A and B are shown apart, each in its own frame.
Chain A
Amino acid sequence: MTTAEHNALFDTWLTEHAAVLHHVANGFADHADRADLMQELLLAVWKAVPAFRRSARPSTFIYRVAHNAALTWKRTQRHYRQRIDRFEAAVAAEMQPRSDTAQRERDALELLYTAIRALPPLDRSLVLLQLDGVSYAEMGEIHGLTESNVGARLTRLKQKLTESMKEIAHELR
């Protein structure tokens, strides 16, 4: 694969699957660490481009690379203060008045991510894949689990996530 092909494929994937990386970064890291994890995910996908086989589905490949990178990601203390400062600056910039509906949607989304991050890492990954509409068979392929195992875990997880959402919302009231 030439450098131009590498760059072109990466750009295409980023255009088509940026939301996937965004979901994984938010599901595995909070506040100041999000940008750091997003950077790790981009780097992991960039490095994985040459290993991609044309016969495979790009989405399955990207899910596997991104979730693998997130599950094995180690939060670094390096430049932590700078990341906190950047995060606080971004929050301050976002404090402009918004319509009630937009603000409610953002708050609900933040609650959902908080509930997802409270789950153990593998469960977190399965819930993110479920919410992204990935099939059980594909999840099994990505994680190396059987389809029935994925199904059983998700039945329990959906219940758990719904309960957590109620609890978090109740605590905030």
Chain B
Amino acid sequence: MNFADIENVWRSPHNRPSAAELEQQKMNLTTDLRRRHRSFVIFIAVVTGALVLLTGRMLLFALWPDPASDRFDFAQEWSFLLLLALPWAAALLFIRQYRRHRARHADYERSIAESVRALLDENRLSSARLKVVAILHGALLIMLPLVVYQLRAVGKAGDEILVPAFVVWPAVALGIGGGLLYHYRRKLVPERRRLEGLLAAYE
């Protein structure tokens, strides 16, 4: 057998999808697209709903404060603001990193090698994001005793905050940390190795 024989085998009429197979694949694609669209709409609705609720509550606090309980004393409650600022700082950092990634790989569609380089960079970015989220959770856990102390000192929280702050939240943070570690080790690291191997084949 030589390469000409292989080319003959390749040209066999059986080496193309039947009309029925193609029609079935198109139907599956339509179903898949509908499912993805529905999931996207639900995700956006949930995130927007949560944001609207939180923003509404903040607007109520800012525009119509209750003089008895909504007074904010910066000197005694600064740790609470810091706690709120950390996730925003992380979000801004993620946006900046993403924009830089897009700028670095603006022409990722030029060739498959460029696409693989962009995917590898995205994988590294995801790993960096996970590390930031893990550090953020650690920082929040460290800050929590101070926040609880200050809220109790100004009378905005009582003993009822102790269990959620020191039992529930650390347990949730531990679960999130475990999830992040699993995602890093089982998804991101094998994916990075696969992409590095693929890129090595080009170079």
Contact = CB atoms under 8 A, between A and B. Distances in A.
A131 B6 contact: yes
The size class of the interface chain B forms with chain A is: 20 to 34
A97 interface: no
Interface in B13-30: 13-17, 22, 25-26, 28-29
B115 to A, nearest CB: 5
Contact of B10 (A112, A123, A142, A143): A112
Contacts of B202: 122, 143-145
Given A18-B17, A42-B25, A165-B6, A105 B113 contact: no
A22 B33 CA distance: 20
Contact of A143 (B9, B15, B113, B119): B113
A18 to B, nearest CB: 5
B69 interface: no
Chief secondary structure at chain A's binding surface: helix
B17 A22 contact: yes
Chief secondary structure at chain B's binding surface: helix
A148 to B, nearest CB: 15
A64 B109 CA distance: 9
B73 interface: no
B159 interface: no
A32 interface: no
Nearest to A61: B109
A162 to B, nearest CB: 6
Nearest to B29: A42
B95 to A, nearest CB: 23
Interface string A129-152: 001000000000111110000000
A22 B14 CA distance: 11
Contacts of B201: 120-123
A71 B16 contact: no
A19 interface: yes
Interface of A: 14, 18-19, 21-23, 35, 38-39, 42-43, 46, 51, 64, 67-68, 71-72, 74, 102, 105-106, 108-109, 111-112, 120-123, 125, 131, 141-145, 158, 161-162, 165-166, 169
Chain A to chain B: the 5 pairs with minimum beta-carbon distance, closest first: A144-B111, A144-B113, A122-B201, A19-B16, A22-B17
